[in-house]
Structure 1
Amino acid sequence: MNPHDFLDVDRDLSDEERAIRDTVRDYSAAELLPHVADWYDSGTIPDPRGLAKGFGKLGLLGMHLTGYGCAGTSAVSYGLACRELEAVDSGLRSFVSVQGSLAMTAIHRYGTEEQRQEWLPRMATGEALGCFGLTEPDSGSDPGSMRTRARRDGSDWVLDGTKMWITNGSVADCAVVWAATDEGIRGFLVPTSTPGFTANVVHGKLSLRASITSELVLDGVRLPSDALLPGAEGLKAPLSCLSEARYGIVWGVAGAARDCLVSAVEYAKEREQFGRPIAGFQLTQLKIADMLVDVNHAMLTALRIGRLKDEGLAKHAHISFGKLANVRAAQRVAAKARSVHGANGITLEYPVMRHMMNLETVATYEGTEEVHALTLGRAVTGLDAFR
């Protein structure tokens, strides 16, 4: 039976959804998979603009948005693309997610028509890259405590502060930056060529290495009044964008888990000890069975939340449920798959340790396990335990 999809979850996909799945899967196998181990080993993506343009040709950037050159696909179709990308590497799904679900969504949802026309068509093709500046060195799970400030100076805005762990920050053309003002949290479009804006690449990462991560420094960055995202008022705006990105994670980690399972099954059937393949030993089969259950539960969870999203019924807590459950499942699968591979599992010849390390980042970014657990607790009890 098929370890890729034991419960035949994809049988419930439409013809269009299958076509998108297959297109992204084929592209990933041909253009991404042969290089990703080297990218991970070197700790960077050598040609992020080339990568963006490749994704743009496939229509993956902002694919769930409508107009401005965006594909306008269903939530499930977007999820399937995330699954196939993260089956290669979490950093690649993060690349697409930050561009489309964070930066482009913020502009599409909260920007003016002029801002949309200026940025979205170029971002959809990959000609322009965006990043999303919310997290700070001392402000992760509590974004309301951010120290980045925006003050009025005549008709201009002046921004000062630091953002941390920003994907694509050093290669972006436009940064969506969130700052505290006298009127509350507001969002700004900051062209990265603006004087006073600096992006410093974060080195020494042990996880999500096939991804460019940066620190953003804003030192007296002066912006015209039309840099403000007028529809974004308060924390609800950036958090709504994060919810879009988290939805992609729900699908993405199911892809990472699936890849670990497939690698473990193939390896166990080939690796011989004591005169026979280790796949024939009971303890190995127990690990495989556990992984199989987790992978298929994750795929079912992703599809169900995707269908709810397409019907307009998905709540913030549903996304938290998916991220909490599926990341946990993927981490269990990666750990078991690594043990099946033995010493070989720690090398880049096999994908399992790379996925395992990446999932450590995915578990904490865009909402830690604790934050999502408290979100679920509040949803079913009506009591807020955050403070």
Structure 2
Amino acid sequence: MLFLLILLVTILVVFGIPDIRRSLISRPVFKIFKRILPPMSATEREAMEAGDVWWDGELFSGQPDWFALLATKPPVLSADEQAFIDGPLEELLAMLDDFTINQEDRDLPPEVWAFLRKHKFFAMIIGKEYEGLEFSAAANSYIVTRIATRSLSVAVTVMVPNSLGPGELLTHYGTSEQKKRWLPPLARGEELPCFALTGPEAGSDAGSIPDRGVVCKGEHEGKEIIGIRVSWSKRYITLAPVATVLGLAFKLDDPDGLIGDKKSLGITCALIPTSHPGVKIGDRHWPLNQAFMNGTTSGTDVFIPLDWIIGGLDYAGKGWRMLVECLSAGRGISLPALATASAHNAQRFTGAYSYVRQQFGLPIGKFEGVQEALGRIGAYSYSMESTRRLTVMALCEGYSPSVITAITKYHLTEMGRQVMNDSLDIHAGKGIQMGPLNYLASGYQGTPISITVEGANILTRNLMIFGQGATRCHPYVLKEMEAAAREDEEQGLREFDALLFKHIGFAAGNKMSTFWHGLTGARFANAPVSGETLRYYQQLSRMSRALALCADVSMLTLGGELKRKEMISARLGDVLSHLYMASAVLKRFEDDGRQQADLPFVHYAVTMHLYHIGHAFNGFFQNFPNRFIARSLKILVFPFGNHYKMPADSITQEIAEATMMPGVARERHTFLSYWRDDETDVTGHMELAFLAMHELEPVYKRINKAQRAGDLGQDLAGDALAKAALEQELISPDEAQKLERCERLRMRAIAVDRFCPEALKEGKFKALDVLSD
């Protein structure tokens, strides 16, 4: 007892008296922490500190507050936003012919450019005080997604001025004079912006851009002033060929100390009229057969005034921070919108085609091989739309969550790639023949564009999601890093000491809870709902604990080496990503009123996300450098093994059947997909055939029965089929008339475009009538 009493007193003294604790424990740990702390470049530090933490922080904590998530209200469109969607947006969609835009004109028609300017499609993020529309992130995402279901080129043209570019940078950082000068004409479409960041040797690493500006004296408008002489060479710049104002990122130096003490200020953003002497707008690029304007710009020793720096002199050298903080629009709105648009179209039209296209007397969607791909399309589309909504919700709540937008951009564009591949597999020959009736080709060709821009996906997955998320979302690590970076080491030690034991308690709690959840299958974890989705919340809470534990151990044991272990960190990033997307699916299910028809989609999506979480953990345990720690973590996380599996075939088949069934559920799942009630239109020919065939389903059943019995020819189609069925008294005259129309629609739906060889040789893409002889 005396020994235990002495031990207890010793522990209380060591841990309870700050000076002794800091001397014996915190100081040695502090030194180790500073030694293993990964080195950071200035651009990395600015990226790390930019943006906010939202639901990603909850998932990283190991204790996500599901009640708080479900209590968050989805954004509601304002009256002005709804009026714009019902009016100018629908008018625009009716004007567009994507095949003509991409294949014939390789530009938007003049009337479309005029319409976009007149109705301020380029001004959704500009405030009303500057004549803009001032729409919410929800409206912005809805509008861009809806346009993208009709024309990717037009969607990109609209999205760029409303994401990363002069409009957003001016809104957030511009001086009062700059806003008054530029925002009204940008809102009216009198000025068209582009933003030049990427160069031949500077893509993802903006810190390596060679474009330079030097503070010096020069002449502007007949007067000698202090300004900047800047040279640049940029490529891949969307809207550059038609831009009237150029946003430019470059490194700024002040060798003579004309504006301060620092000789190298860092990345700076300036706004330059393209008519300014020395500015060169180069030739166009041609991004994968898409017609949106994209090209090059350059300049050599172009002299500009200091007040052309966005934000004025106070923001000289702060350009990278500005850019990173504004990336949420591109990553969280625009690129996910393009991917989700492809998914909406794929689900709607591939479901219709799978019913309309028949083999052996059955819709091809009845064959299990097709059902596997069709089910995946439906489930992925549901998950993508759910994730788009949740991310937009964060933006509408006022957050700028850099990790979440990176997750959304990466996974929606990758899932969009899978959806488009599955759609092409099902359509086969119809999907690969170019022409006005091919509604897949543009989305398929455009998929790699979304994957590549705003940071190529390999970078996003391997460096950003976990590399940024592990530090940004962790409850203590970023604060500990800030303490370690203090110039006053004693002050840093005191801050570190206060955090260290909270961190130890956090880690110990995650270790015990992870093992407990593993032993019990998380059956005692809290869940905000009952019913069929309850177990999903419990399993996601369990995996959240496991992520927090494995992330802590990885950072502790690998330190700065973790930054270079991209495959290890990417797998932990995958865990975080699939936790987020599964959360989005469950949130959507609740927000939509727990629709019974949606349960197969929910079951597939969450089960699939859990499977990918388990798969990522397996790869993490298998490849973690310290084998003892790897085996220990695996026992803690999966004491009885990893039992997450892909969804059952029966769920896949339920989804496949649902995508081939017209009705309310199909409309809810593909509500952003545009289609026109016109059988010659790319969007209408398949939809009208699909609806007509469902209406005449009893007629086709009678005809198929007669064909199997040998009473009707197997090779009949079109008017001949209707005539023969009428003669056999299988159908009434009224049904025969409907059947003739339906057969015409069906034959157009399964047909593909064709062209005169001479016309194609001459570059004329006028398609022939697919039903003509």
Q: Fold match, TM over 0.5?
A: yes
Higher strand share: 1
Match of 1:331 among 380, 394, 417: 417
Q: Is residue 78 of structure 1 aligned with residue 140 of structure 2?
A: yes
Structure 2 equivalent of residue 375 of structure 1: 464
Aligned-residue offset at 1:334: 0.8
For 2:420, what is the secondary structure of its paired residue? helix
- Residues in 2 aligned to 1:265 and 1:331: alpha-carbon distance in whole angstroms: 17
SS at match of 1:312: coil
Tell me how far apart the structure 2 counterparts of residues 272 and 25 of structure 1 sit (CA, whole Å).
36
Change (3 A) 1:330 1:252: same
User: Is residue 86–residue 93 contact of structure 1 (8 Å, CA) maintained in 2?
Assistant: yes
Paired residues of 2:355 and 2:364 also in contact (CA < 8 A): yes
AA of the residue aligned to 2:388: A
In the alignment, what sits opposite 2:383? Answer: 297
Please list the CA deviations of residues 44-65 of structure 1 after superposition, one character each: whole Å capped at 9, or x if unmatched.
31446x5444234444323133
Q: Secondary structure at the match of 2:199?
A: coil
Match of 1:188 among 270, 277, 280: 270
Residue-by-residue CA offset, 1:252-308 (whole Å, 9 max, x unaligned): 321122112222122222222233322222222222211111111111111111111
Q: Mapping of 1:24-63 within 5 angstroms?
A: 26-32=90-96, 35-42=97-104, 44-47=106-109, 50-63=111-124
1:19 and 1:371 map into 2 onto residues whose CA distance is 40
* In structure 2, distance between residues paired with 1:180 and 1:138: 14
2:335 aligned partner: 249
Which deviates more, 265-274 or 321-330?
265-274
Q: Shift of the alpha carbon at 1:97?
A: 2.1
**Residue 109 (str. 1) matches residue 172 (str. 2):** yes
Q: Mean alpha-carbon deviation: is it higher for 317-326 or for 271-280?
A: 271-280
Q: How far, CA to CA, are the matches of 1:110 and 1:238 in structure 2?
A: 11
Q: Secondary structure at the match of 1:106?
A: helix
Question: C-alpha displacement at 1:218, in angstroms?
Answer: 1.1
Give yes or no for contact 1:134–1:238 (8 Å, CA) kept in 2: no
Larger radius of gyration: 2
Over residues 189-225 of structure 1, what are the superposed CA-to-partner deviations in whole Å (9 max), with x where a residue is unaligned?
1111112211123345425x12111111112222122
Gap regions ≥5 residues in structure 2: 1-72, 218-225, 254-264, 472-554, 565-773
Give 3-state SS (helix, strand or coil) of 1:363's partner: helix
- Superposition pairs of residues 93-104 of structure 1, within 5 angstroms: 93-101=155-163, 102-104=165-167
Counterpart of 2:207?
A: 144
Match of 1:365 in 2: 453
- Tell me the TM-score normalised to structure 2 length: 0.46
Corresponding position: 1:237 with 2:299: no
Amino acid at match of 1:272: Q
- Which SS does the other structure have where 2:326 is aligned? helix
Q: State the number of aligned residues.
A: 373
1:386 positional shift? 5.7
Which structure has more RCO (C-alpha within 8 Å, separation ≥ 6)?
Answer: 1
* Alignment partner, residue 192 of structure 2: 129
d(CA) in 1 for partners of 2:453 and 2:105? Answer: 19
Q: CA 1:25–1:330 in structure 2 vs 1: closer, same or farther (change >3 Å)?
A: farther
Partner of 1:165: 236
By percentage of residues, which structure has more helix?
Answer: 2
Q: Does 1:259 align with 2:345?
A: yes
User: What secondary structure, in the 3-state scheme, does the structure 2 residue paired with 1:71 have?
Assistant: coil
CA contact (8 A) 1:185 1:234 kept: yes
Structure 1 residue 312 corresponds to structure 2 residue 382: no
> Kindly tell me: are residues 341 and 13 of structure 1, through their superposed partners in 2, closer, same or farther at Cα, counting changes over 3 Å?
farther
Distance 1:328 1:339 in 2: 17
SS at match of 2:452: coil
**Residue 198 to residue 188, structure 1, CA distance change in 2 (3 Å):** same
Cα separation, 2, equivalents of 1:252 and 1:203: 20
Per the alignment, residue 268 of structure 1 pairs with: 354
Q: Deviations over 1:20-47 (max 9, x none)?
A: 5444652343022xx2112211473144
Q: Residue 288 of structure 2: SS of its match in structure 1?
A: coil
Aligned pair in 2 of structure 1 residues 172, 47: CA closer, same or farther (>3 Å)? farther
Match of 2:288 among 206, 216, 228: 206
Q: AA paired with 1:190?
A: I
Helix, strand or coil: the match of 1:318?
helix
Q: 1:47 to 1:89 in 2, by over 3 A?
A: closer
- In 2, are the aligned partners of 1:265 and 1:288 still within 8 Å (CA)? yes
Native 8 Å contact 2:346 2:423 kept in 1: yes
Decide which moves more: 292-301 or 239-248. 239-248
CA spacing shift, 1:386–1:59, aligned 2, 3 Å? farther
User: Aligned-pair distance for 1:226?
Assistant: 1.9
What's the CA shift for 1:18?
A: 5.2
Q: Which amino acid aligns with 1:315?
A: P
The question of whether the paired residues in 1 share the 8 Å contact of 2:126 and 2:168 is answered with: yes
Task: Look up the equivalent residue of 2:148 and give its one-letter code.
Answer: E
8 A Cα contact 2:344 2:381, kept in partner: yes
Tell me the distance in 2 between the aligned counterparts of 1:317 and 1:43: 39
Q: What TM-score results when the alignment is normalised by the length of structure 1?
A: 0.89
SS of 2:329's partner is helix
Tell whether 2:296 aligns with 1:215. yes
Q: What displacement does 1:339 show?
A: 1.4
Secondary structure of 1:260's aligned partner: helix
Q: How many Å apart are 1:70 and its aligned residue?
A: 1.4
**Percentage identity across aligned positions?**
23
Q: How many angstroms apart in 2 are the aligned matches of 1:314 and 1:189? A: 24
Preserved CA contact (<8 Å) 2:123 2:188: no
Kindly provide the CA deviation profile for residues 296-339 of structure 1, in whole angstroms up to 9, marking residues without a partner as x. Answer: 11111111111111112341001011111211111111111111
Instruction: Select 1:69's aligned residue among 125, 128, 131.
Output: 131
Q: 1:14/1:172 Cα in 2 relative to 1: closer, same or farther (>3 Å)? A: same
Query: Does the CA contact (< 8 Å) of 1:261 and 1:292 recur in 2?
Result: yes
The answer on whether the counterparts of 1:334 and 1:353 sit within 8 Å (CA) in structure 2 is: no
Give 1:361's aligned amino acid. Answer: I
Relative to structure 1, the CA distance from residue 20 to residue 260 in structure 2 (aligned partners, 3 Å threshold; closer, same or farther) is farther
What is the letter of the counterpart of residue 318 of structure 1?
I
In the alignment, residue 181 of structure 2 is paired with which amino acid? E
- When residues 241 and 14 of structure 1 are mapped into structure 2, their CA distance, relative to the original with a 3 A threshold, is closer
After TM superposition, the structure 1 stretch with the greater mean CA deviation from structure 2, 284-293 or 172-181, is: 284-293
* Larger displacement relative to structure 2 (171-180 or 86-95): 86-95
Match of 2:438?
350
Pairwise mapping of residues 11-26 of structure 1 onto structure 2 (< 5 A)?
Answer: 14=76, 16=78, 19-23=83-87, 26=90
Deviations 1:323-365 (A, max 9, x none): 1121111111111111111112122331212211101011010
Query: Bigger CA drift: 166-175 or 362-371?
Result: 362-371
Unaligned runs of 5+ in 1: 1-10
Change (3 A) 1:304 1:24: farther
Secondary structure of the residue aligned to 1:188 is strand
C-alpha separation in 1, matches of 2:468 and 2:362? 51
